[in-house]
Chains A and B, each alone.
Chain A
């Protein structure tokens, strides 16, 4: 299992656990973390699982790859920054145990 924490826009924290190999999107949806919609089912097609990776984790998670589908979708998301990712594209391997992700105010 991998442990991670979602921080809501209102300051609430959501510590969750999920089996390794699943995505951060699944971790949010399976544990009812509010603010992550994931409309497309987790296949990088809608940008409704937008999160900001905590600065302490961004290097290990990795930034958006230029020209990727993920980057193309996120350019239209409200409030996207250089630490933005789509949660469906973050695969939770054991080296990400303890990961901290920030949920934006709105999905779009």
Chain B
């Protein structure tokens, strides 16, 4: 299996005025292609900081982060923007779709920034929407969609540039239990198609749907275990063969 992510002794120190806050104190782990990993921990454990670093929104103070073999810590802000655009897909807790913008236009947005021609953009956006089961909703505005649908648009947006990893930050935090299962089911389908997913969550029930749990505590990894993932079966489809 090939490596996608390799963190070696990554530490992150913030300066809050005079105070030094060490959010990560030396974290190392490797994620291989095709894994579905959940990162868990209490608030303040460093999992969000880890996610920001994995997402190339922030760079480590110490240690190195190799993404597809490239040391991301050495890149300029614009080069980081390009990495985010081409290699990473983000799914946020609050969906973070653009308001007053249709589902298709939201999905097209990463392609706009990688200068893909309009006709091709449209085609790829439609394909991505189809993969998350939203075919036919492409013309709906963000505010005309339910929470679950909005999150699916966000997943389609994350998918559209064929990233190396999808990073999901509490993707089900704003959803009810039924929709949570729906979204997790989509993630599992995508994972089965070979997409690497790293998800931050604080809910053990959600983590159960993933194959590997990394648990953070006080800026360090306390456990990293592999499980057999539980199948996410949407309630409507339960009982079907």
Instruction: Please say whether chains A and B are actual partners in one complex.
Output: no
Residues of A within 8 A of B (CB): none
Residues of B within 8 A of A (CB): none
